[in-house]
Amino acid sequence: MGTGTPPVILQGEPVLGLEAAAASLVAKDDVVLNLASGVYGKGFGYWAARYARRLDEIEVAFNSCIDPEAVRAHLKARPETKVVAVCHHDTPSGTLNDIDAIGAVVVEADALLIVDAVSSWGGMKTSPAACKADIYVTGPNKCLGCAPGLTLAAVSEAAWAKMEANEAAPVASMLSILDWKNAWKATEPFPFTPSVAEINGLGAALDRYLDEGPECVWARHALTAAATRDGVRAMGIDIWPERENIASPTCTAVKVPDGIAPASVIETARANYGVSFSAGRGETLGSLIRIGHMGPTAQPMFAHVAVAALGGALAAQGTTLDIGAGLAAVQLRLDAGD
């Protein structure tokens, strides 16, 4: 992950890592700033609030992203803030936050940064170092294509020190990060039995990732998503993110036309074309449909499959659109190559 030390591997899928980060890093008298531009970012606030003295929040519309300058202003006004939390790719919205810019602001303010990079890491250029994260949580079950069951967490020295100083940080617990600090050294026992099948799967997935080359993997995700967006718009449908440059390369969220129920579109796409889409979650549930491009599904040619299935299912629900134009636009972008 580009850090000097190996990440901590927790034995549960990445929600464990996020809950553990909140439980371990946030001390009783901490003030936490949570940045919410989507359902997952918002959700982290509930965990942070459980452990903090006070939770502040900057929240923007869930098709938008956090402005680093707003973070700077907040931290200037509230210098007591100890921990900032941000979600890189808020999957239920298909939108990205500029975590590298946010990280630079947080460092200046001498706070610690928790980053949820669960569904971005491995699918685009991002690293703990680039965003100066203190706890950077991801997992192999998204862009590496593994079965779910593990968290990868990069932890900074400052975060280790803060967790060790935090009397309420879980130890001898599934929620503990501290328990696993030395677990991967040959001289240390495991706190409990690790998930050996998933650990082997992670090894195999990393072999593939490195064989293909991270830059190639990222480009594959980016092209798949760009072609999908072009195809969707050429059919006459809007994407959910308010601006192209905050749209995720690992998941495309599409705005559902008025009067159409996302659940019906999803059901039709599966029944008629054998293609699985996702709905939104929480606040975005009735408004959008999501097309995943992670790991093995991030094949540029699958943009045709996605656009055709989306177009066909929308048409079956009564939307008027031009599928041929959509597919032609997909092809144009595939041939442009980026």
Contact 202, 221 (CB under 8 A): no
**What's the half-sphere exposure (Cβ side, CA atoms, 13 Å) at 39?**
13
| C-alpha to C-alpha distances, 137 to 111, 150, 180, 258, 263, nearest whole angstrom | 17, 11, 14, 36, 30
Least separation, in Å, of the C-beta of 338 and a copy of itself? 13
Q: Least CB distance from residue 48 to a copy of itself, whole Å?
A: 12
Per CB under 8 A, 324 contacts a copy of itself:
yes
Q: Which helix (H) or strand (E) holds 3?
A: none
Q: Distance (Å, rounded) from C-alpha 190 to C-alpha 143?
A: 27
Name the minimum Å distance from CB 50 to a copy of itself: 9
One residue of 7, 8, 9, 16 binding a copy of itself per CB under 8 A: 16
Q: Is 320 in the site for a copy of itself (CB under 8 A)?
A: no
The side-by-side arrangement of strands in the sheet containing 112-116 is: 8-10, 151-155, 135-138, 112-116, 81-87, 31-36, 54-59
Residue 148 sits in the site that holds a copy of itself (CB under 8 A): yes
Q: What is the spatial distance between Cα 232 and Cα 98, in angstroms, rounded to a whole number?
A: 25
Measured from the CB atom, the residue of 130 and 325 that comes closer to a copy of itself is 325
Contacts of 106 (CB under 8 A, 6+ apart): 71, 75, 84, 112, 113, 132
Does position 272 interact with a copy of itself (CB under 8 A)? The reply is: yes
| 323 is an interface residue for a copy of itself by CB under 8 A | yes
Q: Please tell me whether residue 308 binds a copy of itself under the rule CB under 8 A.
A: yes
Q: Which of 101, 130, 175, 206 binds a copy of itself (CB under 8 A)?
A: 175
By the criterion CB under 8 A, which residues form the site for a copy of itself? 11-13, 15-16, 19-20, 46-47, 141, 147-149, 172-175, 192-198, 201, 272-275, 299-302, 304-305, 308-309, 311-312, 315-316, 323-325, 327-328, 330-331, 334-335
